[in-house]
Amino acid sequence: MVEADKSVKDRLRGITGRALKATVKALIFYAIYLAISTFLTPVSGVIPGLQQIIETFVMVYIFLVVVGEILSGTIFQQLFNVARALFVVVYLLFSLKGGTVSTTFQNVKLTLDLSLFLMAASLLSLLGLAKSMFQAVNFLSEKAEPSRI
């Protein structure tokens, strides 16, 4: 009975620690977003929908980070890491519309070719995806091997 109480207390302590770590990570990401958003406020008047695009990205990314951190030590953490990396790649492709962004400002049409930036950002995100997949394979192989102590 005493050992069962210790096990419950240890689990509760572990869950509390993971929740605290997830909260701290979420606060750090949100603070970074707030710092960057002050610099992007003047630009959001020129590019319609920029603020909404960034806010949506930040909300989903923070959600995936928090859920992945709470589920740490399980295969679900690895799945959420893969989902986060895939989300970044797909969101970049959709939000930048294939690399060409165009807007009209006072009878002047401004078109930016961001394909080089999109390619570099996508490749970096794909590296993150590969890392997450290798971590998932490593996690599963460690669980499958018998421990030798």
pLDDT in tens, 19-78: 899 999 999 999 999 998 888 877 777 677 778 888 899 999 999 989 988 888 888 988
Position 2 scores a pLDDT of 55
Which residues, other chains included, contact 62 with Cβ-Cβ below 8 Å and sequence gap of 6+? Answer: 26, 29, 30
How far is the C-alpha of 89 from the C-alpha of 130, rounded, in Å? 12
φ and ψ of 108, to 5 deg: -120, 125
Q: Give the pTM.
A: 0.77
Position 123 scores a pLDDT of 92
CA angle 66–48–106, rounded 5-degree value: 160
Domain ranges of the chain: 2-137
Residue 103 confidence class, pLDDT cut points 50, 70, 90? confident
